[in-house]
Chains A and B, each alone.
Chain A
Amino acid sequence: AQKITQTQPGMFVQEKEAVTLDCTYDTSDPSYGLFWYKQPSSGEMIFLIYQGSYDQQNATEGRYSLNFQKARKSANLVISASQLGDSAMYFCAMRLTGRRALTFGSGTRLQVQP
């Protein structure tokens, strides 16, 4: 069975600085996808970024990048130039290829300070 671990319950970062949110995963399947979602205080789940297990390059989406280290089974989210609006819960998730449902970690609460 697959498992996602997020070891940072809460993080603080100064506005305009970069921050890394940690995510490790456990699966014996060779084919899978890794996802990051943002959940602001309003409650909705917002898709941020995706990384496939066979992708050669790290995924990037604007200020978000995913630091994918396959051998270490880690998929850390890097947010560059943090903004006050980045304050939210962030969830790492995984989906095995051939299965449709996501498995989520417990989340990291990020607070951006002015």
Chain B
Amino acid sequence: NAGVTQTPKFQVLKTGQSMTLQCAQDMNHNSMYWYRQDPGMGLRLIYYSASEGTTDKGEVPNGYNVSRLNKREFSLRLESAAPSQTSVYFCASSIASGRATYFGPGTRLTVL
């Protein structure tokens, strides 16, 4: 049981480049999330998806787009990366009324 998986684990981009972070879960969860973690801060919600085909903005959505491809997969896209997007990105999932949210291992992104 892999839980929540993310690719890549590390990425370095130049300002203006684009990339997509991939996330998949095998727990049959309805809800999926993208968070970012900056130094000295807790995680902040970028986007979430309550179910397949739906997405909603979180606390810090600017500069990002998401796609809920199917129940298992939820991707995060940076169309034109900026140094302010240097962060660690976590994908997570939960059942709709579940007590626990499960996190992937994170992607460390650096934008030069």
Residues of chain A whose beta carbon lies under 8 Å from any beta carbon of chain B: 4, 33, 35, 37, 43-45, 47, 50, 52, 91, 93, 95, 100-107
Contacts and interface: CB of A to CB of B under 8 A. Distances in A.
A44 B105 contact: yes
A35 B101 contact: yes
A91 B43 contact: yes
Contact of A106 (B40, B48, B90): B40
Contacts, number: 53
B88 interface: yes
| Residues of B contacting A: mostly | strand
Interface stretch (B15-23, B62-70, B72-80, B92-100): B92-100
Interface of B: 31, 33, 40-45, 48, 50, 58, 88, 90, 92, 94, 96, 99-103, 105-106, 108
A101 B103 contact: no
B42 A44 contact: no
A47 B101 contact: yes
B42 A101 contact: no
A104 B94 contact: no
A37 B33 CA distance: 16
21 contacts: A4-B42, A37-B103, A44-B105, A44-B106, A45-B90, A45-B103, A45-B106, A47-B100, A91-B42, A91-B43, A93-B42, A93-B43, A100-B94, A101-B33, A102-B33, A102-B45, A104-B44, A106-B40, A106-B41, A106-B42, A107-B41
